[in-house]
Chain A
Amino acid sequence: MLTGRPVHAAAAGRPGRVAVARRAAAGALALTLAACSGPQSALDPAGDAAEAIAGLFWVLLAGAAVIWALVIGAAVFALRFKTRPISERAGLRLVLWGGAVVPTLILSVLLVYGLRLMPLLRDPAAELRVEVVGEQFWWRVTYRPEGGPAVVSANEVRVPVGARVEFSLDAADVIHSFWIPALGGKVDMIPGRSNRLALRATRTGTFRGVCAEFCGPAHTRMAFPVVVMEPEAFRAWLAEQAREASPAGNETFLANGCGGCHAVRGTPATGTIGPDLTHLASRLSLGADLLPNDAASRARFVAEVDTLKPGARMPGFGMLPPAEAAAIADYLGSLE
């Protein structure tokens, strides 16, 4: 952990209780819980916001199960097993208590309990700022470490474990939504406004985020890997990402105009329309988590992007002679 848990001393006791509740539920529902895991699961949390919300869910679920059983039990009893009608007075009392008084009490408690999480989950005090811009159908990611230079990347988000990271979220074209279920809730990216989301990862690992708001033909293909790293490893990785790339072998890349849309820092490729490719080969996946990042996929992506991601602005380069295509793929592979 980079720092201790900030602010909200009043709420400090809560996560413990939530965790207990979660563990109790987990014990009872071991099978269910096994079916809740995954790199993109809100029920397999790796961040404090996701943990709090998952805890909230298990509590809500338990309560819902009890209420459901009582209401439906009463209806089935009335239809099937009741032998004597209850009096009109008793019926009206049931409406008053069951329909109005008890729900009001339960909902009031629930509201206070649920809404007290809000400031905790949307706390702006951050140790690292990351700007993410949603574009059809990829993510422009800029790290703004305190005291260091801004580092531009794309289609992958890395954060240090234990640190509160503030994401500033914008949209370049249409509405997108930034969602990393394992770390916390989603926030929309809306043209004309800038939203903020603070997340704090609690364990290292590789997770997955997606665009949650339908944004066009390739909405399905707009995801990103999320890597939670030890702080030291993260610092090293960021320093590496800040480095410029070598221009060696970029002739075909430049000759076909790739540099008009893509930037490879340290080379004449300075386009800003598409993703920055400076350290493309170091990323975990290609095309907003569409393909694995290997040589064959890099070649395929360049050739078939128009069918892989319908609606993307990049044309497919399937018409390139094989030698040129291979040269471009090789160059991309060199961008470690």
Chain B
Amino acid sequence: MSGATLDRDAARDEARRTAQRQRLRAAWNLSRGWRYFANVNNQVVGLWYIITAFAFFLFAGVLALIMRAQLAVPENDLVSAATYNQLFTLHGTVMMFLFAVPIFEAVAILILPQMLAARDLPFPRLSAFGYWCFLIGGCFVSGSIFFGAAPDGGWFMYPPLTTDTRLSGIGTDIWLLGLSFIEIASIAAAVELIVGVLKCRPPGMRINLMPLYGWYVLIVGGMILFAFPPLIAGDILFELERLANWPFFDAARGGDPVLWQHLFWIFGHPEVYIIFLPSIALLAMIVPTFARRPILGYGWIVLAAVGTGFLSFGLWAHHMFTIGMPAISQGFFSAASEAVAIPTGVQIFVFVATLLAGRAVYGTPMLFATGALAIFVFGGLTGVMVALAPFDWQAHDSYFVVAHLHYTLIGGMFFPLMAGIYYFHPFVCGTMLSPRLGRWAFWLMFAGFNIAFLPMHITGLRGMPRRVFTYPENLGWETLNLVSTAGAFTMAAGVLVLLWDVLRPGKPKAPRNPWNAGTLEWVAGDPTEPWGIRSVPPVSSRYPLWQQEGLLAGIDAGAYYLPDAREGRRETLVSDPLDATPRQVLRVPGDSFRPMVAAVLVGGCFILGTFHFWIAALLSGLAGVGAILAWLWTGTAVIPEKPEKDAGMGLTLPLYASGAASVGWWAMFITMTGDGTAFISLVFGYFYYWTIHPVFPPAHAGGPGLLWPLLAVAAGLAGWGAMLAARAANATGRVAGARAALALAMLFSLAGAAAFLLGPWRTGLDPTHHAYDAIVWVLVIWAAVHNAVGVLMQGYCLAGSFAGKMTPTHDIDLRNVTLYGHFAALTALTTGAVVALFPLAS
């Protein structure tokens, strides 16, 4: 072998790699110019998401400053009571729904794929759709204050103050419909992220090797799935009461305002942990990097996070200790609330122990992490106090609680997020933030925060209730409030320093992996390369960059999986959920305006509906459904030009997967779990009424009868059976039979929907008369709508079969729709049993 041959080989190799890089770059290139907003790749959408969420944070922060200015002195008249009520309602609402939860999804969308060495999330257009929904809904809700029409009932909107249209105006509708719209986007992002964690890991990254951030995303995604639907169910009941006078929360007509409190806090308490855990996840990435060692107690922290998530669903009633609950309930929820401190404590001690066992170095992210710890631990300790029912009887709804919740949220969410911003800034923007400005920002925020909120504990215990627009002199609150106001503005100055640092030009360029971290997101070199990772490495450790020799060089050389985009398509690896065996090369759809158009149209339906423009809202909604169908038709379940391809490293993988192997099936399963949770929340409402009424159903109401509900269940089950037959026939090549079965399924489902509605219609249940009538109507409407959506899906499959989009070997759609059918059948069965059979038993 001569030197010339070697040179030639090397040159050929280099030429091959250059060609690979060019093809990858072409496939993943960002859309620019006017098509910039058609981008769907996670790096762009994630950044939009973060910027937008942060803008909402600044907006809500300004609202807070106005409130603090108003409260600086007693009997101040800077703003009126009416304005102040909008300020605090919007401050809480925006911080919770438009900042705290979305920023988690934003950060996860941006960094999770890189951590998993994936080139994108499995449903990029869904991310983009979620983003546009978030932007539109967020601007709608926030903008209302400029018209004096913002919601003004407090961010938990207790009826009957808010259900009575004489006492509350359009702001409440804006809150309900705007947020419902955003919640849908939140759930969509959660589905996307869960599937991303489960199915898009690199070969070999078994679930116990996954970066801790992945675990937290999985846990929080799951929590969103079970926490948001009860609120959506509550929103539906709430809006029906406002619009149509259905008395769910009206005590005079068999309803109960406390039902809303349950539904809201079943959402609202897990929400706190939905906000808190992703920020802890950032610390779980930062702390090992700065301790220069792997996390100590990986299993501990994962178990603790799961435990926190689980427990967080069992303590919602501690927000309701003053409603006059039985002592036994108060004791139970006190105990559960104390118990959640234990897994939280484990997570904190894992960090402390990791620092103790490592050789810690300092940096701005660690400064913020330490500050976070100091604030959060204090908030946790006051949490232990308010968890004790007797103490809460004093602290509840006072400034003590205001102080407590800000200590937990700012220490548990905001400061870790700041640490994350300093930590990930080089990864996202390629430049380093200034350590000097970082120290300024930190000390201003840290000191400002404590000056603002520490005195509030005392203000609250000296009797100042929350949500008052002013206060009299001589109650001893003047100095405390003035100090709090000064602190709030100091903290705001710190935020401005951070903002300046991020926006100022001329920051030094970051070296690659500037913190010398061990996880795969730091493979990212030049942030102008759009492909995420040059080639997908096999992973065999928790900190591959520390523990796998030569990995970085191999990745850069394109030595691993998917180093090429030979067909010019965007591709990423899909693997098994537990052991990450690669299963498929997934082609993800490219840039498109369709998600934006769909979001605008669906948003239009909600926004026009708020103003009672029913026809326009209906048209917008129908057009939105059409846009989504068009997007699905053109962008999903595309039959590839060849069955499989070379994925690199000698591995050949299929390009198409159906059923449980496909990401779509998982997304449907996860979505329907959330949908089922919303349904269960409505059923909970039904049985809640049963518990508060001595006679239920009430004597006046005959119920929906037996005949129609049972017919509806029978038709629904028949439709389900026809779906199963269609799937089986299609899989065995009997396409005509499958089409016939699908048509039959549509007929049965339609009949089921009609029969559900006929039940209470025929027996004359009047939903404005009594909460019982109303809840029965809601349940049958829910079931009927699920049948109707099923009809749409079955029709879609039928059309796909005729169009050649769905064949015996390429049947993703049919399998996913059948999966939907399982859930719809269960919904129908449960509805029938509850509305028709339960009255017989009770």
Q: A-side interface residues toward B, CB under 8 Å?
A: 32, 35-44, 50, 52-53, 56-57, 60-61, 64, 67-68, 71-72, 74-80, 82, 85-88, 90-92, 94-95, 98-100, 103-104, 107, 110-111, 114-115, 117-119, 121-122, 136, 173-175, 177, 179, 181-182, 184-188, 190-193, 195-196, 208, 210-220, 310-311
- Across the interface, B384 reaches (CB within 8 A) one of A60, A99, A179, A184, namely A60
| Known contacts A118-B327, A216-B161: A85-B356 contact under CB 8 Å | yes
Residues of the A chain whose Cβ atoms lie less than 8 Å from the Cβ of B360? 78-79, 82
Are the CB atoms of B257 and A192 closer together than 8 Å? yes
Q: B-side interface residues toward A, CB under 8 Å?
A: 80-82, 85, 153-154, 158, 160-161, 164, 167, 251-252, 255-258, 293, 296-297, 300, 304, 322-324, 327, 330-331, 334-335, 338-339, 341-342, 345-360, 362, 366, 370, 373-374, 377-378, 381-382, 384-385, 388-394, 396-398, 458, 461-471, 474-477, 480
Q: Say how far A79's CB is from chain B's closest CB, in angstroms.
A: 5
Are the CB atoms of B397 and A212 closer together than 8 Å? yes
Are the CB atoms of A40 and B475 closer together than 8 Å? yes
Residue among A68, A77, A95, A173 with the highest chain B CB neighbour number at 10 A:
A95
Q: In the complex the two chains form, what is the Cα distance from A46 to B330 in whole Å?
A: 25
Residues of the B chain whose Cβ atoms lie less than 8 Å from the Cβ of A311? 167
Are the CB atoms of A99 and B388 closer together than 8 Å? no
- Across the interface, A50 reaches (CB within 8 A) one of B322, B385, B394, B462, namely B394
Closest to A84 in B: B359
Are the CB atoms of B322 and A217 closer together than 8 Å? no
Residues of the B chain whose Cβ atoms lie less than 8 Å from the Cβ of A175? 158, 160-161, 257
Task: List 12 A-B pairs, Cβ < 8 Å.
Answer: A38-B463, A43-B458, A57-B391, A60-B385, A88-B357, A92-B300, A99-B304, A175-B257, A185-B394, A186-B394, A190-B258, A192-B252
Are the CB atoms of B465 and A37 closer together than 8 Å? no
| Known contacts A188-B322, A195-B324, A310-B81: A79-B355 contact under CB 8 Å | yes
Residue among B304, B323, B347, B394 with the highest chain A CB neighbour number at 10 A:
B394
Q: In the complex the two chains form, what is the Cα distance from A95 to B394 in whole Å?
A: 34
Residues of the A chain whose Cβ atoms lie less than 8 Å from the Cβ of B330? 115, 118
Residue among B370, B388, B474 with the highest chain A CB neighbour number at 10 A:
B388
Are the CB atoms of A103 and B362 closer together than 8 Å? no
Residue among A103, A182, A215 with the highest chain B CB neighbour number at 10 A:
A103
- Across the interface, A188 reaches (CB within 8 A) one of B324, B338, B362, B462, namely B324
Q: Say how far A173's CB is from chain B's closest CB, in angstroms.
A: 7
Q: In the complex the two chains form, what is the Cα distance from A29 to B385 in whole Å?
A: 19
Q: In the complex the two chains form, what is the Cα distance from A110 to B342 in whole Å?
A: 14
Are the CB atoms of A79 and B370 closer together than 8 Å? yes
| Known contacts A43-B461, A211-B465: A174-B322 contact under CB 8 Å | no
Residues of the B chain whose Cβ atoms lie less than 8 Å from the Cβ of A75? 351-352, 355, 370, 373
Besides A68-B374, A111-B334, 7 other CB < 8 A contacts? A53-B391, A74-B356, A86-B353, A95-B346, A107-B339, A110-B384, A177-B322
Q: Say how far A221's CB is from chain B's closest CB, in angstroms.
A: 8
Residues of the B chain whose Cβ atoms lie less than 8 Å from the Cβ of A36? 458, 461-462
Q: In the complex the two chains form, what is the Cα distance from A122 to B389 in whole Å?
A: 11
| Known contacts A111-B334, A186-B394, A219-B467: A38-B388 contact under CB 8 Å | no
Closest to A40 in B: B463
Are the CB atoms of B389 and A115 closer together than 8 Å? yes
Q: Say how far B308's CB is from chain A's closest CB, in angstroms.
A: 12
Residues of the B chain whose Cβ atoms lie less than 8 Å from the Cβ of A107? 338-339, 341-342, 384
Q: In the complex the two chains form, what is the Cα distance from A5 to B296 in whole Å?
A: 54
Are the CB atoms of A95 and B463 closer together than 8 Å? no
What are the nearest 9 A-B pairs in CB distance?
A185-B393, A192-B251, A40-B463, A99-B349, A99-B346, A114-B388, A78-B355, A91-B353, A195-B324
Q: In the complex the two chains form, what is the Cα distance from A87 to B256 in whole Å?
A: 57
| Known contacts A115-B390, A214-B154: A174-B354 contact under CB 8 Å | no
Q: Say how far A304's CB is from chain B's closest CB, in angstroms.
A: 14
Residues of the B chain whose Cβ atoms lie less than 8 Å from the Cβ of A76? 370
Residue among A208, A210, A310 with the highest chain B CB neighbour number at 10 A:
A210
Are the CB atoms of A95 and B381 closer together than 8 Å? no
Are the CB atoms of A208 and B463 closer together than 8 Å? yes
Are the CB atoms of B373 and A220 closer together than 8 Å? no
Residues of the B chain whose Cβ atoms lie less than 8 Å from the Cβ of A44? 462
- Across the interface, B388 reaches (CB within 8 A) one of A56, A92, A177, A190, namely A56
Residues of the B chain whose Cβ atoms lie less than 8 Å from the Cβ of A187? 322, 324, 393
| Known contacts A86-B357, A111-B338: A196-B324 contact under CB 8 Å | yes
Residues of the A chain whose Cβ atoms lie less than 8 Å from the Cβ of B341? 103, 107
Closest to B154 in A: A214
Are the CB atoms of A174 and B167 closer together than 8 Å? yes
Residues of the B chain whose Cβ atoms lie less than 8 Å from the Cβ of A182? 463
Are the CB atoms of A111 and B335 closer together than 8 Å? yes
- Across the interface, B297 reaches (CB within 8 A) one of A43, A53, A92, A174, namely A92
| Known contacts A40-B462, A72-B373, A107-B384: A98-B468 contact under CB 8 Å | no
